[in-house]
Chain A
Amino acid sequence: MSAAAILQGKSGAWEPVIGLEVHVELDTATKMFCGCAVTKGDAPNMHTCPVCLAHPGALPVVNRRAVEYATRIALALNCTVRPRNVFHRKNYFYPDLPKAYQISQFDEPLALDGWFEYWSGGEKLRCRVNRVHMEEDAAKLVHAGGEAGRIAGSEYSVVDFNRGGTPLIEIVSEPDILSPAAARDFLQQLRDLVIELGVSECTMEEGQVRWDANISVRPAGSAGLGTRTELKNMNSFRYLQQALESELPRQVDVLEAGGMIDQETLHFDPTTGTTTPLRSKEEAHDYRYFPEPDLVPLVMDPAWVEEVRAGLPELPGARIARLSEQYGLSRADAVVLGGAGVLARFYEEVVARGVDAKLAANWTMGEYLAHLNAAGLEPGHGHVTAERLAALVRLVAEGTVSTSAAKDVFAKMIAERAEPAAIVETHGLGQISDGAKLEAVVADVVAGNPAQVEQYRGGKPQVIGFLVGQVMTATGGRANPKLVNELLRKTLDG
């Protein structure tokens, strides 16, 4: 916990305090409390039954796989899985909630007291995890006839119950996050972790990951907590950062003007980049939690929990240490490559093809990562396969292409979806290491630059750099620089 993003106010320095409540939809085959399929993109209300439509008399049954997935997350976040946990009813009326209560967990959740380590600004940070609990997702409301699917001004609303009852995990952090950038890094790396656990694809566009952010400020370096506001239901990293960058200075301004922060719920408007409070009436909820009498408490068999723990994949902390050790990578490089399992897996697939590990690391973190970011791709997707990147790295290592030409080859691998060797061949990008060919060029350059030749011979050996450059220019950058150097010296010195 450090690296607070200090906000400089008129009266002094303030630091942000951010806590996150992250919801993750689990990719189980069926819903949390019934046998309906969990799917994406099917026609509305295809996957419904008396239970998830809350028909009279229907009863919930807990999805065992969802409990396993939730336990995986809890263990990966170093939480203590409680031996007995209880579902509660959270009561409120809304058309997307057919029972008018959500089956959730309250004071006896699945797991408590963990932590999550993540990297931000080159630093390893630890955020305490308050709890992990299980619940069910609401259905999807579609507002028709108004402006861009919003409820305001719409003519009517319809409900799609396909999503209703999807298993949902809530991860509640402690307010240990001290900068907008750290909040973003926390969420991105938490998402990476969940994907790696194999419990959710965490598709952002589908809203499979959503979060609420609790935000307050306090005088820099102090320990207490200020009054917080809550940013609800976000699913964009970018919007989160924008919202925080708008809300935090607002709070500082209010406090410095002698005002008080209202504990209220905010809505971020991406079009204006600002936050506005939701009407307080909408927020006057008393959820009247009480234990769900239709479900017996879940008693967690310790042996089963240990079985789940044993089945966890390698987690980022361990992986970063291993990559650093196994491939001789710097700590910083290991963090970049090992933070997310998918990227690490890609990197290790490249190395597995027998290329130099450090060179492969440079290419994976450099050109490859830049390409993923630009194209919005996940590691392992797109036309640059591990096989092809390894082939390119090998061409560089063997001196077949120069580093600068290799960047050109990489760009063409994306554009032309081709093997690097074929691109080198087609575009003639191979390094010229043929002595006879280069001797002719060298002879031309020596003949064409008598003044520099004179200087060299007169005791200025550094002038050779200029002459090498001339040869490179003449060969379109393809000449093997080492060989050019040798040939020039032979010619000039001989």
Chain B
Amino acid sequence: MGALDTLRLTAREAKKLLVDGEVSAAELTKAYLDQIAAVEDRVHAYILVTADNAAKYSTKVDREMQAMRGPLAGLPIAIKDNMVTEGVTTTCASRILGNYMPVYTATAVRQLWDDHVVMLGKTNLDEFAMGSSTENSSVQTTRNPWDLATVPGGSSGGSAAAVAAGEALWALGSDTGGSIRQPAALCGIVGMKPTYGLVSRYGLIAFASSLDQIGPLTRSVYDCALLLRHIGGKDPRDTTSVESPEAVELPSAERLDGLRVGIPREYLAAGIEPGVRARFDATIARVEELGGTWVEVSLPHTEYALSAYYIIAPAEASANLARFDGVRYGHRAADADDLITMYERTRGEGFGAEVKRRIMIGTYALSAGYYDAYYGRAQRVRTLVRRDFDTVFEQVDLVASPTSPTVAFGVGSRTDDPLAMYMSDICTLPVNLAGLPAISIPCGLSGGLPVGFQLIGPAFSENRILDAAHALEAAIGFEPAPAFRDSSAGPEPGEGGSATVAAAGAPS
């Protein structure tokens, strides 16, 4: 076996190496553990690396290859630390969970364990998945491997950075308003939020129940489909989960003939960086080259989506996070003389600023006398946002947009400005409000940092999205080569490593 290039190796390739006997599961796992050892002190992607368990289990897979055969057997994975894992601490990057040791395993993770994947560890996130930069972690700030002075995005920033840095073959994240797609975009990898209900939420520590969805972060579109195939389906423990009308297929499309893509003018109106816009336009040109067409469409309620989201998500969060009261598990404040004091101190000490902010907003929005004005109205906006998409999907097959208006921003540059941080999700969160599937694929670099291209489809159109993304991915030829540079430490090197794309025929 030659040295494995964990920065480039896809799960598809890794599987072939395993099947062909070129590499053992133990060697594969060791390659990732070695890379973790090499770069983790700069990236800080993991909250917990389960190195011993991973090494042991990969050896067991090798030994029991006959019994443990399967499409994912022996492939190492990283799990966002908001999915509970029996016997492995789960923190949500929050002090309030303390050293919480789950007594059960999230359904999606359980499905992977049953398929004999090797868990490398639990990845960092914004506390309770609330954030767009992974800076709201009580544990550490994860860095973007493309530029260590920038954020990886969030909230699945640990999973995205781990995959981008070659510290994981692939990873699971969760997406409430863009928390898979935005960090995937900022880290130059593929990330997908499936249709709401496609993947069980059982064992996903809830942020906003009606918006949360687990999904893959991978190095290729093919890998994305492969992973999604193994985490979906109706779960009797999650009544909001559903069986997809069609199984997720492994994509093979190379052309986009006949595909109609809609570009919502409202998504391009607000604050898209010129470099991001250029890469987006170039990618749209690729769509045409591959036989697709594009048309401008309108999602007129987009401007209200952000407001509605920041009512609904905090409202649900305010109730979801109420269970962290110090009574049964997790952190409990010491020396409280009475119940109310215990509650107040526990929660005061346990939650970080952004979580507290959202609990307060959500509690306020649900209070007597304000419910109709806030929560009630936000739900009506949500319906309108959904109808906008319904209307557009009568005209087009998929909707395209930049995933994030900007490339990775500097660590600390937005932490004092929550509203600017919330704007990071303007192109992604309407998708959660509408419960739709969407993917982000890398479409080039701007200023040396990756740009993400988002494709949104109707409910359960995962196969259509994956096919289109697969064809585009090949045409774009993105080169995943994060440099682990630190722009804050010295002069910035020139842009490199990307497939530069001509901007001809780009929409205005």
Contact of A57 among B202, B315, B343 (CB under 8 A): B202
User: Whole-angstrom distance between the alpha carbons of A95 and B340 in the complex?
Assistant: 11
Contacts of A159 in B (CB 8 A): 327
CB-based contact A290/B315 at 8 Å = yes
Contact of B103 among A55, A60, A62, A294 (CB under 8 A): A55
Q: Is the interface of B mostly helix, strand, loop or mixed?
A: loop
CB-based contact B240/A296 at 8 Å = yes
CB-based contact A59/B322 at 8 Å = no
CB-based contact B319/A290 at 8 Å = yes
CB-based contact A59/B104 at 8 Å = no
Are A57 and B236 CB-contacts (below 8 A) given A99-B322, A100-B322, A290-B371?
A: no
User: Whole-angstrom distance between the alpha carbons of A446 and B100 in the complex?
Assistant: 98
Contacts of A295 in B (CB 8 A): 239-240
Contacts of B83 in A (CB 8 A): 57
CB-based contact A98/B323 at 8 Å = yes
Contacts of A58 in B (CB 8 A): 104, 202-203
Contacts of B322 in A (CB 8 A): 91, 93, 99-101
CB distance from B236 to the nearest CB of A (A): 7
CB-based contact A59/B239 at 8 Å = yes
CB distance from A326 to the nearest CB of B (A): 47
User: Whole-angstrom distance between the alpha carbons of A50 and B206 in the complex?
Assistant: 14
For chain A residues 448-478, which have a beta carbon within 8 Å of chain B? none
Closest to A91 in B: B319
Contacts of B103 in A (CB 8 A): 50, 55
> Which of B119-127, B360-368, B442-450 lies at the binding interface?
B360-368
**Chain B CB within 10 Å, residue with most, of A56, A59, A93, A294:** A56
For chain A residues 262-310, which have a beta carbon within 8 Å of chain B? 286, 288-290, 293-296
CB distance from B211 to the nearest CB of A (A): 9
CB-based contact A95/B327 at 8 Å = yes
A372 contacts chain B at the CB level, 8 A cutoff? no
Are A50 and B104 CB-contacts (below 8 A) given A57-B204, A61-B237, A99-B323?
A: yes
CB-based contact B339/A95 at 8 Å = yes
User: Whole-angstrom distance between the alpha carbons of A235 and B319 in the complex?
Assistant: 31
Are A293 and B210 CB-contacts (below 8 A) given A55-B102, A55-B103, A57-B202?
A: yes
Are A293 and B316 CB-contacts (below 8 A) given A56-B97, A57-B202, A159-B327?
A: yes
Closest to A295 in B: B239
User: Whole-angstrom distance between the alpha carbons of A290 and B206 in the complex?
Assistant: 16
Closest to A51 in B: B237
For chain B residues 459-504, which have a beta carbon within 8 Å of chain A? none
CB distance from B80 to the nearest CB of A (A): 12
CB-based contact B319/A100 at 8 Å = yes
User: Whole-angstrom distance between the alpha carbons of A54 and B368 in the complex?
Assistant: 25
Count, chain A residues at interface, CB 8 A:
28
User: Whole-angstrom distance between the alpha carbons of A53 and B84 in the complex?
Assistant: 15
A89 contacts chain B at the CB level, 8 A cutoff? yes
User: Whole-angstrom distance between the alpha carbons of A59 and B197 in the complex?
Assistant: 13
Contact of A290 among B104, B323, B375 (CB under 8 A): B375
Closest to B209 in A: A293
User: Whole-angstrom distance between the alpha carbons of A61 and B234 in the complex?
Assistant: 13
CB distance from A313 to the nearest CB of B (A): 31
Closest to B202 in A: A59
Contacts of B163 in A (CB 8 A): none
Contacts of B375 in A (CB 8 A): 290
CB distance from A47 to the nearest CB of B (A): 15
User: Whole-angstrom distance between the alpha carbons of A479 and B208 in the complex?
Assistant: 86
User: Whole-angstrom distance between the alpha carbons of A49 and B363 in the complex?
Assistant: 28
CB-based contact B339/A101 at 8 Å = no
CB-based contact A56/B366 at 8 Å = no
Contacts of A100 in B (CB 8 A): 319, 322-323, 325
Contacts of A57 in B (CB 8 A): 83-84, 102, 106, 201-206
Chain B 365-409 against A: per-residue CB contact (8 Å), 1 yes, 0 no? 011100100010000000000000000000000000000000000
Contacts of B104 in A (CB 8 A): 50, 55, 58
Contacts of B182 in A (CB 8 A): none
CB-based contact B319/A89 at 8 Å = yes
CB distance from A67 to the nearest CB of B (A): 13
User: Whole-angstrom distance between the alpha carbons of A98 and B92 in the complex?
Assistant: 19
Closest to B362 in A: A288
CB-based contact B205/A61 at 8 Å = no
CB distance from A149 to the nearest CB of B (A): 17
Contacts of B208 in A (CB 8 A): 293
User: Whole-angstrom distance between the alpha carbons of A53 and B324 in the complex?
Assistant: 11
CB-based contact B210/A54 at 8 Å = no
User: Whole-angstrom distance between the alpha carbons of A93 and B347 in the complex?
Assistant: 12
CB distance from A365 to the nearest CB of B (A): 50
Interchain Cβ contacts under 8 Å between A and B, 25 examples: A53-B328, A56-B97, A56-B102, A57-B84, A57-B201, A58-B202, A59-B201, A59-B240, A93-B322, A93-B325, A95-B327, A98-B323, A99-B322, A100-B323, A101-B322, A159-B327, A288-B319, A288-B363, A288-B368, A290-B315, A290-B366, A293-B210, A294-B238, A294-B239, A295-B239
- Report B's interface with A, CB cutoff 8 A: 83-84, 90, 92, 97, 100, 102-104, 106, 201-206, 208-210, 236-240, 315-316, 318-319, 322-325, 327-329, 339, 343, 363, 366-368, 371, 375
- Report A's interface with B, CB cutoff 8 A: 50, 53-62, 89, 91, 93, 95, 98-101, 159, 286, 288-290, 293-296
